[in-house]
Amino acid sequence: MTMSFAPQESSSDLWTERAELSGTIVASAAYGIHICVLILILRAPKDSISTRLKRLLSCGVIILFATATIQLASQVRLLQVMWIDKRDIPGGPFSWISIQYTLASGTVGNVGFTVATFVADTLLIFRLFVVYGNNYYLIILPFLSNIAAATLSGIAAVQSVHPDSSGFKLGERNTMIPFFVLTITLNILLSLAITYRLLSVRRLVTTVVGAEHAKLYTSLSAVIIESAALTSVTGIIALACYIQNGVLQHFVLEVYDQIICLAPQLIVLRVALGRSYEGESHGELSTLKFRRGAMNRQTVTAQSEVTTVLQLGGSESTTITAKSTEDLEVKIDNDICV
């Protein structure tokens, strides 16, 4: 007679535990990528950015890495309690998932998540500020939304400490669902705004100097990284799974914790390597100089957003200035057609 060593738990409970373990493994892999990105950022020369910006980005990078570490450590501690230290809890290890946020490690991880989302969204808002030429008015509403999202997340963290509360019960879900909707919607709108800006610049640069020179800043990979599309896509999936309240949420939410911290790090890495789009300098004009004649594109020199020198042959030179990329594009087209 074959003996069965399967635990006395339902199939649904076992799948939930598998999802917790699988999500933690994938999150650990993402954390490994996070370490590599952090090392690259710290080793990058960063000569092209100001000292003040270096300090700001370094502070954000360190906070995100610290919160990613805290969240992963908290999850590992939960698994240790579930399956090693206190696995004989009534109801089986699954019971710990329902009360994980009442543990000290769960509370610390929850706070880490709140800090991570606020810092990550703040860096993305700052990126929006940069690519739109240091436009303060543009970031007022996103910043207020970010504060509101952080407040909701903080309230949920406080609620989760109560013994009768659980992140997967109705009480805290009334707070977490609005938080997820707000922060993920904010990410999506910021990503779309940054993507639109990058594609607009791509069109401009392609018109002036050709598609080859536009690839560095506006390639598909650049758009995905600089718009933090990874966070938006993962966030949509996480929100759908959380609202459905199914098994898959236990996998996706663990990965989402790390993606939140990793996506802004990739943007900072591009800034540190001098491969990011820096936007217009506030209060400055965008200038293009080129020579009439046969259009033999040879060199490009960038001094601000689209300050470019083209050598096209002939002896006559023309200078075009504009206060925005849209005006600049019109003037370039008109002059080239003359």
pLDDT digits (tens, 9 = 90+) for 16-29: 889 999 999 999 99
Binned at pLDDT 50, 70 and 90, residue 210 comes out as low
Which of 97-111, 201-215, 278-292 has the weakest average pLDDT?
Answer: 278-292
- Running DSSP on this structure, what letter comes out for residue 216? H
Claim to verify: residue 250 and residue 207 sit in the same structural domain: yes
* Residue pLDDT, tens place only, 107-147: 888 889 999 999 999 998 988 888 888 889 999 999 999 99
Which residue, 272, 303, 327, sits at the end of a domain? 272
pLDDT at 302: 39
User: Residue 101, SS3?
Assistant: helix
Whether residue 280 lies inside any domain: the answer is no
53 C-beta neighbours (distance < 10 Å), count: 14
Which residue, 229, 248, 272, sits at the end of a domain? 272
User: Residue 228, SS3?
Assistant: coil
pTM for the predicted model, two decimal places: 0.74
Whether residue 321 lies inside any domain: the answer is yes
Of 168, 22, 174, 183, the residue nearest 113 (C-alpha): 183
Q: How many domains does the chain fold into?
A: 2
pLDDT at 284: 36
- Running DSSP on this structure, what letter comes out for residue 90? T
On the question of pLDDT at 213 being above 90, the answer is no
With the C-alpha atoms ordered 157, 163, 165, 169, is the resulting torsion angle positive or negative? positive
Which residue's structure tokens are 């293009």? 288
- Dist CA 271 CA 76 (whole Å): 33
- Residue span of the structural domain in which 118 resides: 11-272
- Dist CA 69 CA 205 (whole Å): 40
170 C-beta neighbours (distance < 10 Å), count: 9
